[in-house]
Every structure is written in structure tokens, then in C-alpha cells.
Amino acid sequence: MFAPAHVQALSGGRLHLSHGPIDIVLKAWGGVQARRAAYLRAAKRFATILPELCEELGQLRTPVSERPVLEGNVTRRMLEACLPFRGIFLTPMAAVAGAVADEILAHML
């Protein structure tokens, strides 16, 4: 159904994660083993995010004022970020980049 997520080491100790419309370039600091472990956890979690978002796409396109029902960690983060703005037309998709970044960071740590 989905092409696999792409993971690529970049210069300067950075990591590029790409899957469909989602692209992240990140960098971790610390010992070699700690960085390697963090990058492995990030890559593992990243591979599952796009399919999870697609499963809830209908609800993610629902205006926040209509209280979409969301199940996943990332999608619930998206909704929570948008709730303060529920008085205007806004869908949880407005917060996709930040929610994905927060999820990857949580897994790296």
C-alpha cells in the first residue's frame, strides 16, 4: 500500500527521514551509541506514522469545532494543538508537522 519510509544519513551527523509528504531532518547529540540508538528508534517510529495518519484522514479533515474523534498519539496531539483555535475554521491538519516532530523526539529520548 505504501512505499517504505526512506532513512538516510546526512553529513554533519544528521538523519533524513522521508515518507510521502513527510520529511524530517534531525540531529542528536551525545555519545556515539546513544545517538545511534536514538536514530534507530526515530526511524522505527517514523515508518509507522504516515499509515496511521492515513487511517484517520477523514477525521483529520473535520473542523476542530466539530470535535473530530481521533485515536492515535500523533492525531490526538494534532487535535490538542488546534483546540485553542476552535472558534475559527481549522482542521487538525494544521498541526501535523509539529505533532510528528514531537512524536519522533519522544521516541528518540
Q: What is the pLDDT of residues 35-83, one digit of tens each?
A: 999 999 999 999 999 999 999 999 999 999 999 999 999 999 999 999 9
Parse the chain into domains and list their residue ranges. Answer: 6-108
The greatest distance separating any two alpha carbons of the chain, rounded to the nearest whole angstrom, comes to 47
Dihedral sign, CA of 89, 91, 97, 103? Answer: positive
Burial class (CB in 10 A: 0-12, 13-18, 19+), 41: middle
**What backbone torsions phi and psi does residue 13 show, to the nearest 5 degrees?**
75, 20
Q: What is the pLDDT of residues 94-106, one digit of tens each?
A: 999 999 999 999 9
